[in-house]
Amino acid sequence: MADVLHTSELKSLKLLNRGKVRDIYGIDERHLLIITTDRLSAFDVILPTAIPGKGRMLTEISNFWFERTRHLLPNHLAGIPLEQVLPDAAERAQVEGRAIVVKRLKPLPVEAIVRGYLVGSGWKDYRKSGQVCGIDLPAGLQLADKLEQPLYTPSTKAEVGEHDENVDYAHTVGLLGESLAAQVRDMSLKIYSEARDYAAGRGIIIADTKFEFGVDEAGTLHLIDEALTPDSSRFWPMDQYRPGTNPPSFDKQYVRDWLETLDWDKKAPGPELPPEVAQRTAYKYAEALKRLKG
């Protein structure tokens, strides 16, 4: 397939980490190079099949939101052009459009999840207990119902191959301290609310999302990693939204649904995706980008 990068191979910089989707290289003591590959993970397993162009689209969507939210808080973008850190044209061509130079920050050990609609693990939680992550909700809600107020439901950050674990707000206070935990919660809700309202004007419902944050040496909070992409969020087309049913989404849910039809134990190695499933998933990412940016 054209325009596919499953695994980056840069010789001029030191590889520090390969995550589920991103490869991270060290530039110097103050900067990193983050490359968003076309890898796709489902059920916390990295699949062998890459999604054409996915990394470029995710990078463009993230950068769009970083720009739109910078009035609320700083983010990790360093504003340094790629040519400056990858002068070799061949290396640069491998990662152009999917690589960003970022500040080295200290990541916080919390995933900041905001839920605006009752779906996914939140729906399963609610059906069992009438709560989502320990938060009481009114009786009689349906699948995919809009919540009266968005919920902040943090989780711990797991290693690759492990599962994140939902925790309560008090647990994050223990990890971060009272002031920083409150800042992470309040900023997560504020960014989500602004993004939700913008996306609604573009025909997209952002049902839920996950943010990651880091701090600099002065302790200033920054938005890091990715922001409001179809990988870190559930995007629904507004014209197909019906409470009581799970709307189709602009993300890898299509792949998850296909995987659920297989006899697979959800452990590595994952199965290869048929070309039509990979291509259909790429179209969903492209549609989200097109709608958001107009």
Averages of pLDDT over runs of 10 residues in the chain (294 residues) are 84 96 97 97 93 96 98 98 97 97 97 96 95 94 97 83 77 96 98 98 97 98 97 94 92 87 94 95 94 91
The count of structural domains within the chain is 2
Does residue 287 lie in a domain region? no
What is the per-residue pLDDT for 30? 98
Helix boundaries (H) for the chain: 54-69, 82-85, 89-95, 120-129, 169-176, 178-200, 253-260, 275-293
Q: Are residues 80 and 216 in the same domain?
A: no
Mark whether 159 and 80 lie in a shared domain: no
Residue 28 lies in a domain: yes
Q: Which of 104, 127, 159 is the last residue of a domain?
A: 104
Residue 100 sits in the same domain as residue 131: no
C-alpha angle 209/120/98, rounded to 5°?
Answer: 40
What pLDDT does 162 receive? 60
Distance from first CA to last CA of the chain, Å, rounded? 27
**pLDDT reported for residue 252:** 82
Structural domain containing residue 91: 14-104
With H, G, I as helix, E, B as strand and everything else as coil, classify residue 204. strand
280 within a domain of the structure (yes/no): no
Q: Return the bridge partners of 32, or none.
A: 26, 102
CB distance 282 to 289 below 8 Å: no
Residue whose pair of structure tokens reads 């097109």 in the numeric block: 290
Do 123 and 236 lie in a common domain? yes
CB distance 196 to 77 below 8 Å: no
Judgement on whether residues 53 and 118 belong to the same structural domain of the protein: no
Q: Tell me, what CATH number does 52's domain have?
A: 3.30.200.20
How distant, in Å, are the alpha carbons of 20, 163, 232, 254, 289 from that of 283? 21, 28, 17, 11, 10
Looking at residue 251, its pLDDT comes to 80
Answer yes or no: are the C-beta atoms of 207 and 265 closer than 8 Å: no
Determine contact, residues 176/188, Cβ cutoff 8 Å: no
**277 within some domain:** no
pLDDT value for 44? 86
Give residues with Cβ within 8 angstroms of 11, minimum separation 6: 91
170 by DSSP, 3-state: which? helix
- Nearest CA to 288 out of 207, 195, 199, 189 is that of 199
97 and 146 both lie in a single domain: no
pTM above 0.85, yes or no: yes
Do 195 and 97 belong to one domain? no
What CATH number is associated with residue 214?
A: 3.30.470.20
Does 284 reside within a domain? no
Instruction: Please give the pLDDT value at position 163.
Output: 62
Q: How far apart (Å, rounded) are the C-alpha atoms in residues 286 and 99?
A: 18
Last residue in a domain, options 70, 104, 138: 104
Q: What is the largest CA-CA distance in the chain?
A: 60
Same structural domain, 118 and 85? no
Q: Do 75 and 167 have their domain in common?
A: no
Confidence (pLDDT) at 1: 42
| 265-to-44, 75, 134, 271, 275 alpha-carbon distances in Å | 12, 38, 29, 10, 22
Indicate whether 80 and 115 sit together in one domain. Answer: no
Q: Is residue 278 part of a domain?
A: no
- What are the angstrom distances between the C-alpha of 2 and each of 6, 50, 275, 286? 12, 11, 12, 15
Q: Are residues 67 and 198 in the same domain?
A: no
151 and 226 part of one domain: yes
Domain assignment of residue 243, yes or no: yes
Nearest to 89 by CA among 14, 31, 10: 10
Residue 64 CB neighbour total at 10 angstroms: 16
Cβ atoms 34, 22 nearer than 8 A: yes
Q: Does residue 291 belong to any structural domain of this protein?
A: no
Domain boundary among 71, 104, 137: 104
Specify whether the CB–CB gap between 202 and 292 falls below 8 A.
yes
